[in-house]
């Protein structure tokens, strides 16, 4: 059974998107967010599926970097990729407008857009595209990029089609933001464990050297420090070496 959820118009044709297919795409996108998240793979999937679902020729995606500059991230094909790169380079085009205003740019007339996008419009036409739309990647007060749709025919998007594309963009945005904050926290947690490890190794090395040289831990620490300085090595590195392989610094441990 097919339930009509949305229609995509291509010229005079009506294309029906089955509910299951739409649901499948959302699940597919959400799935990539869970295990072994690969940002590039994820964004590639988003562009390809968005193009397919909307019935448009191509899609591209730009993300803002740490300084708020848009950077190319993914595209569903080569022409879209080149055009997105051009948008970034020329600092001109619907994605940039969309990112700056945080509003979708839909159904703009490319042929007549020479004034609006003096560099992008001619380049898009040269690349064989006749229509272009841009949707913001935004979640609450964060706008992190933009999703571009291109078509070789002068395609207009209906309201419900635009809503579906925005919904896909929203899912992608939530996934990206979640992945980022998780990654930041993981990096912090890793740094925490790393910092602990090197401090612990130094104390362990002090204990080892105290026994080997039959002295106290403070004298052992002096031996460790002098050795590291003499050899031009980092203290924590020598300590880690000695703990992992007791014969790694025979000049210090007296072992071969």
Partner 1 sequence: MRQPDDDDRRAPRSRVEHLIDAERDEEDAPSRAVGRLRRLCRAVVRALPARGAGVSVVSLVDGSADDWLTAASAGVGAEALEELQFTSGEGPCWEALATNRPVQEPDLSGSGSHRWPAYGPSAVERGAGAVFAFPLRVGSIGLGALDVYRAEPGLLSADAFDLALTFADVALELLLDGQASADDGGPPVMVHALSYRVEVYQAQGMLMVDLRVDAHTAMLRIRAHAFVTGRPVLDVARDIVAGRLRFEKD
Q: Say how far apart CA 134 and CA 132 lie, in whole Å.
A: 7
Instruction: Tell me whether residue 41 or residue 247 sits nearer to partner 1 (CB atom).
Output: 247
Instruction: Tell me whether residue 149 or residue 243 sits nearer to partner 1 (CB atom).
Output: 243
39 is a contact residue toward partner 1 (CB under 8 A): no
Instruction: List Cβ neighbours of 194 (8 Å cut-off, separation of 6 or more).
Output: none
126 is a contact residue toward partner 1 (CB under 8 A): no
Q: Say how far apart CA 67 and CA 246 lie, in whole Å.
A: 47
Q: Say how far apart CA 48 and CA 163 lie, in whole Å.
A: 17
20 is a contact residue toward partner 1 (CB under 8 A): no
Token match 């104390």: residue?
Answer: 203
Task: Measure the CA dihedral 67/134/177/73, to 10°.
Answer: -70
Which residue in 18, 170, 219, 246 binds partner 1 (CB under 8 A)? 246
Beta carbon of residue 212, minimum distance to partner 1 (angstroms, whole number): 6
Backbone angles phi, psi at 240, to 5 degrees: -60, -40
Of the ranges 70-78, 166-174, 194-202, 227-235, which one interacts with partner 1 (CB under 8 A)? 194-202
* Interacting residues with partner 1 between 95 and 124 (CB under 8 A): none
211 is a contact residue toward partner 1 (CB under 8 A): yes
**Secondary structure of residue 173 in the 3-state scheme:** helix
Which residue in 4, 16, 30, 196 binds partner 1 (CB under 8 A)? 196
Instruction: List Cβ neighbours of 187 (8 Å cut-off, separation of 6 or more).
Output: none
34 is a contact residue toward partner 1 (CB under 8 A): yes
Interacting residues toward partner 1 by CB under 8 A: 34, 182-183, 185-186, 188-193, 195-197, 199-200, 203-212, 217, 243, 246
């Amino acid at each position: 059974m097919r339930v009509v959820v949305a229609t995509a118009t291509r010229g005079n044709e009506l294309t029906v998107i089955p509910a299951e297919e739409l649901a499948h795409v959302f699940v597919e996108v959400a799935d990539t967010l869970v295990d072994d998240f690969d940002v590039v793979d994820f964004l590639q999937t988003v562009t390809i599926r968005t193009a397919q679902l909307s019935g448009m020729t191509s899609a591209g995606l730009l993300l803002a970097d740490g300084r708020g500059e848009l950077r190319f991230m993914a595209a569903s094909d080569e022409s879209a990729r080149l055009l997105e790169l051009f948008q970034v380079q020329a600092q001109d085009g619907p994605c940039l407008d969309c990112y700056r205003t945080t509003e979708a740019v839909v159904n703009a007339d490319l042929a007549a857009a020479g004034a609006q996008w003096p560099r992008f419009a001619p380049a898009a036409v040269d690349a064989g595209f006749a229509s272009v739309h841009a949707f913001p990647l935004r979640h609450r007060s964060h706008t992190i990029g933009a999703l571009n749709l291109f078509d070789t025919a002068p395609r207009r998007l209906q309201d419900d089609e635009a809503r579906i594309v925005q919904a896909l963009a929203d899912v992608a945005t939530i996934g990206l933001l979640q992945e980022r904050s998780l990654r930041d926290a993981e990096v912090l947690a890793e740094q925490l464990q790393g910092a602990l490890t090197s401090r612990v190794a130094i104390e362990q090395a002090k204990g080892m050297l105290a026994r080997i040289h039959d002295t106290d831990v403070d004298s052992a620490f002096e031996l460790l420090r002098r050795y590291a300085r003499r050899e031009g090595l980092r203290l924590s590195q020598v300590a880690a070496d000695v703990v992992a392989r007791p014969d790694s610094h025979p000049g210090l441990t007296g072992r071969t």
